[in-house]
Amino acid sequence: MRIESITLENFRCHEHMEIQFGPVTAVYGHNGAGKSTIAEAVVWCLYGTDILGKSKQDENLMHIGSKSMGVAVTFVNSGGISLTISRMRSGKRASAITVNGSRSKEGQIEGWFGSVSEFLSMFFPGYFSSLEPKEAKAILAKCVPDVPKEDVLARMTSDSVELLAHDKFVMGIESVDYAMKRVREEIVEVQKSLTRFEGEMDAYESVIQRGEPSPFVSKITSEMLDQVEAAKRETTIHEAGFENRDKRLQELLAQHTSLADTYRTLKASVPKVDTHCHTCGQKLPADQANKIRQQVALKQKGIQRNLEQIVVEGKRVKAEIEHLKSLPKVPEVDLNLRDFIQQVEKQLRNEQELRIAHEAMIRTYQMAKENIAQTKQYMMDEQKQLEAYRRKLKALQDFRFEFVRAQHEKLNGLFEHVRIHLMDWNKETGEIRESFRIEWKGRPYRLLSFSEKIRCDLEIGRVLAEAKGEAMPVYVDNAESVQDLFSEHFNGQVIAAYVSDTKLTVKHQVSSQVA
Residue type for position 399 = F
8 Å CB contact between 96 and 87:
yes
Q: Is residue 178 part of a domain?
A: no
Q: How many helices (H) and strands (E) does the chain have?
A: 12, 13
Q: In this structure, what CATH number is given to the domain that contains residue 315?
A: 1.10.287
How far from 168 is each of 171, 186, 386, 401, CA to CA, in Å? Answer: 9, 18, 22, 17
**Helix or strand run (H / E) with residue 487:** none
8 Å CB contact between 127 and 136:
no
Kindly state whether residues 127 and 242 are assigned to the same domain.
no
Q: How far apart are CA 285 and CA 290, in angstroms?
A: 9
- Strand-pairing partners, residue 79, are none
Q: In this structure, what CATH number is given to the domain that contains residue 480?
A: 3.40.50.300
Q: Is residue 226 part of a domain?
A: no
Residue ending a domain, among 334, 354, 376, is 334
The DSSP-derived string for 19-30 is EE--SEEEEEE-
**Helix or strand run (H / E) with residue 505:** strand 505-509
Q: Provide the residue range defining the domain that includes 49.
A: 2-131+449-509
Q: Is residue 498 part of a domain?
A: yes
| Helices assigned H by DSSP within 144-221 | 149-153, 158-164, 173-210
Structural domains counted in the chain: 2
Q: Is residue 307 part of a domain?
A: yes
How far from 418 is each of 110, 441, 477, CA to CA, in Å? Answer: 26, 6, 21
The closest of 218, 231, 225 to 350, measured between CA atoms, is: 218
Q: Is residue 411 part of a domain?
A: no
Q: Is residue 165 part of a domain?
A: no
Each of the 515 residues of the chain gets a pLDDT tens digit; together they read: 999 999 999 999 999 999 999 999 999 999 999 999 999 999 999 999 999 999 999 999 999 999 999 999 999 998 899 999 999 999 888 899 999 999 999 999 999 999 999 999 999 999 998 888 888 888 887 777 778 899 899 999 999 999 998 998 877 778 888 999 999 999 999 999 999 999 999 999 998 988 888 888 888 888 888 887 887 777 765 665 566 677 878 888 999 999 898 888 888 888 887 777 777 778 878 888 888 888 888 888 888 888 889 899 889 888 888 877 776 665 555 677 778 878 888 888 888 888 888 888 888 889 988 899 999 999 999 999 999 999 999 999 889 888 878 888 888 888 999 999 877 766 555 566 778 889 999 999 999 999 999 999 999 999 999 888 889 999 999 999 888 888 788 888 999 999 999 999 999 987 545 55
490: three-class secondary structure by DSSP: strand
Burial of 105 (0-12, 13-18, 19+ CB in 10 A): exposed
The closest of 27, 138, 14 to 72, measured between CA atoms, is: 14
pTM: predicted TM-score of the whole model, two decimal places: 0.59
Which residues lie closer than 8 Å to 96 by C-beta, 6 or more apart?
87, 88, 89, 103
How far from 488 is each of 455, 457, 494, CA to CA, in Å? Answer: 7, 11, 11
The closest of 332, 271, 276, 333 to 302, measured between CA atoms, is: 271
Residue ending a domain, among 307, 334, 361, is 334
8 Å CB contact between 43 and 3:
no
> What distance lies between CA 101 and its chain's CA centroid?
51
Kindly state whether residues 10 and 123 are assigned to the same domain.
yes
Using only C-alpha atoms, the chain has a radius of gyration, in whole angstroms, of: 59
Q: Is residue 470 part of a domain?
A: yes
8 Å CB contact between 43 and 119:
yes
433: three-class secondary structure by DSSP: strand
Residue ending a domain, among 334, 352, 367, is 334
Which residues lie closer than 8 Å to 382 by C-beta, 6 or more apart?
190, 193, 194, 197
* CB atoms closer than 10 angstroms to residue 46: 24
8 Å CB contact between 513 and 489:
yes
Q: How far apart are CA 12 and CA 62, in angstroms?
A: 5
Q: Is residue 83 part of a domain?
A: yes
32: three-class secondary structure by DSSP: coil
- Strand-pairing partners, residue 74, are 5, 84
Q: How far apart are CA 467 and CA 273, in angstroms?
A: 156
